Amino acid sequence: MGNVLRLALVDPGDATRESIKTTLLGLDMVWLEAECSRYEFFTDVVAQTHPDIGLVALDHDPDKALQLVSKLNQSAPDCAVLVVSASSDGNLILRAMRAGAKEFLTSPVRIEDLLDALGRIADRRFGRGESRSRGSTIVAVAGATGGVGTTSIAVNLGCALARNDKNSVALVDLDLCLGDADVFLDSIPDYTLVDVAQNVTRLDFTLLKRSLTKHSSGLFLLPRPVQMEDMALITPDDLQRVIGLLKATFTHLVLDLSKSYTPLDQVALQMADEVLLVTQLDLPCLRNVVRLLMSLGAITGMADKVKVVVNRVGLENGQISLKKAQETIGREIYWQLPNDYRTMVEVRNNGVPLVEQAPKAAITQAIVNLSEALCGADKAEEALSDSTKSSLSRLLNLWPGKSKATPIK
């Protein structure tokens, strides 16, 4: 399980301790080594269990808690102390800092703030390159126009990735109005993106997985809302949090985007590690690819992660040649997927993915190879010690102004 941070927690308040525990239990990067309800016993607990992190809730008795923080700082210098308080009073933060706390979190603890703080501690503890091995890869699948095959690719890519036992994969249908990923997987989900978005702070790992629908391929699906009017209930901020939580839970996330490039799609594009821009070889599509590449290219960090995928190659004689297409869009075509209407309609109508319905078909092989190429890209990236790409810090530093976690050392 890579670099897990071992954590001991002290909070004399039963309710707040339980709530912190629930949040922590949802994160597979944290192992809850010990919990304690008395400040005075906690130094001994830390001495016996040697956790990487000591989490001290301040509010029950701030003076006593801060004394404990200084004591821990001396008796267990290898244990990074993280403090939690409902107050964001500057004076309290200063006192915590002077006592030796490494991070100050405001309660109720937002999952992304906790991940942010843990990411920084993991970076300090294991080095940035190392902590990345616990990361997750987000693949956003976007299209040049409606009907190019975005959902077909997202669903079948997700299933191909899920075949590998080492992967845990979730697919999020972000086509909030007309999304049909559930049809492709023949599933009738109990919960949708709107339920998860509205309860994101209360969800732990187990509950989150229970809110998603598991397909027989191993792929977890988070579908679009049932009612169109519920679309409005999901804000970009909510989606950022949902993706953050999923990212901490799954090794791969596949996001099936809408064709409207809405603020929610923009969040997905920003948070993605890889963006597959699906097109076909006709003029309207290629023109949109050029326009999209221009707009996306203006967003910092985007140009490198957008990859053009040509779908339905060989569809008809009148298709623009790959060479001409490449010249028109001015960049490499990352992947080609053959046209196979019969198989694709069959998989959609039967609600069975390619890897199950037509494992030998050329289209299936092309998608399986695409999934392997994307995983290969992860591995190559892991090998690079590019400190800016630590998945946790990269994810959370996208919106630095929104983080409530205050690094104080």
Q: Does residue 151 bind ligand ADP (CB under 6 A)? A: yes
- Residue 341 interacting partner from Mg ion, ligand ADP, none (CB closer than 5 to 8 Å by kind): ligand ADP
Beta strand spans in 144-260 (E): 169-173, 213-214, 220-222, 252-256
CB within 8 Å of 376: residues ≥ 6 apart:
none
Closest separation in Å from C-beta 223 to ligand ADP:
14
With respect to ligand ADP, which residue has the nearer C-beta, 266 or 336? 336
Q: Which two structure tokens, joined as six digits, stand for 267?
A: 């969040």
Binders of ligand ADP among residues 352 to 381 (CB under 6 A) are 363
- Residue 348 interacting partner from ligand ADP, Mg ion, none (CB closer than 5 to 8 Å by kind): ligand ADP
Residue 332 burial (10 A CB sphere; 0-12, 13-18, 19+): exposed
Tell which one of 2, 108, 147, 284 touches ligand ADP (CB under 6 A).
147
Q: Does residue 348 bind ligand ADP (CB under 6 A)? A: yes
Q: Does residue 345 bind ligand ADP (CB under 6 A)? A: yes
Q: Which two structure tokens, joined as six digits, stand for 403?
A: 């983080």
Closest separation in Å from C-beta 184 to ligand ADP:
8
Closest separation in Å from C-beta 401 to ligand ADP:
34
Query: 255 forms bridges with which residues in the sheet?
Result: 140, 172
- Residue 143 interacting partner from ligand ADP, Mg ion, none (CB closer than 5 to 8 Å by kind): ligand ADP
With respect to Mg ion, which residue has the nearer C-beta, 23 or 151? 151
For 109-113, the CB contacts below 8 A with 24+ separation are 109/20, 109/23, 109/84, 110/201, 110/241, 110/404, 111/23, 111/26, 111/27, 111/200, 111/201, 111/241, 111/244, 111/245, 111/248, 112/240, 112/241, 112/244, 112/245, 112/396, 112/403, 113/403, 113/404, 113/405
With respect to Mg ion, which residue has the nearer C-beta, 303 or 345? 345
Q: Does residue 152 bind ligand ADP (CB under 6 A)? A: yes
Q: Does residue 158 bind ligand ADP (CB under 6 A)? A: no
Q: Which two structure tokens, joined as six digits, stand for 125?
A: 């503890």
Closest separation in Å from C-beta 366 to ligand ADP:
8
Residues that bind ligand ADP (CB under 6 A): 143, 146-152, 311-312, 337, 339-341, 344-345, 348, 363
